[in-house]
Amino acid sequence: MKLPADPYDIKARYAPGLIVALPFLITLWTSFHTEAQALSGPLGGAISIIIWYLLSVSVRFCGKRIEEKLWKSWGGAPSSVIVSWSDKRLGDALKAKYHKMAERVLGMPMPDMDLEKADSHESLYLIDQAFARIKGILRQCDKDGLWSVVNAEYGFARNLYGSRLLWLSISILMTAASATLVYLSYDNLKLIGLIINLLNLFCCVLVGWYVLPKLAKDIGFRYAEHAWESFCNIAEQSVKIENR
pLDDT tens track for 118-144 = 999 999 999 999 999 999 999 999 999
**Which of the 8 DSSP states describes residue 27?**
H
Please report whether residue 179 resides in a domain. Answer: yes
Please report whether residue 2 resides in a domain. Answer: no
90 and 82 Cβ atoms separated by less than 8 Å: yes
Tell me the C-alpha distance between 155 and 150, whole Å.
9
- Neighbour tally for 130: CB within 10 Å: 24
Can you state the angle between helices 15-31 and 146-162, rounded to 10 degrees?
Answer: 50
Q: Which domain holds residue 189?
A: 7-243
Please report whether residue 45 resides in a domain. Answer: yes
pLDDT interval class at 1 (50, 70, 90): very low
Label residue 149 exposed, middle or buried (CB < 10 Å: 0-12, 13-18, 19+).
middle
Mean pLDDT of all residues in 88-97: 95
230 and 141 Cβ atoms separated by less than 8 Å: no
Please report whether residue 174 resides in a domain. Answer: yes
Q: What was the pLDDT predicted at 26? A: 87
Q: What was the pLDDT predicted at 138? A: 96
pLDDT tens sequence across 71-83: 999 999 999 999 9
Please report whether residue 136 resides in a domain. Answer: yes
Please report whether residue 1 resides in a domain. Answer: no
Nearest to 161 by CA among 217, 240, 233: 217
Q: What was the pLDDT predicted at 150? A: 96
Look at the chain and report how many structural domains it folds into: 1
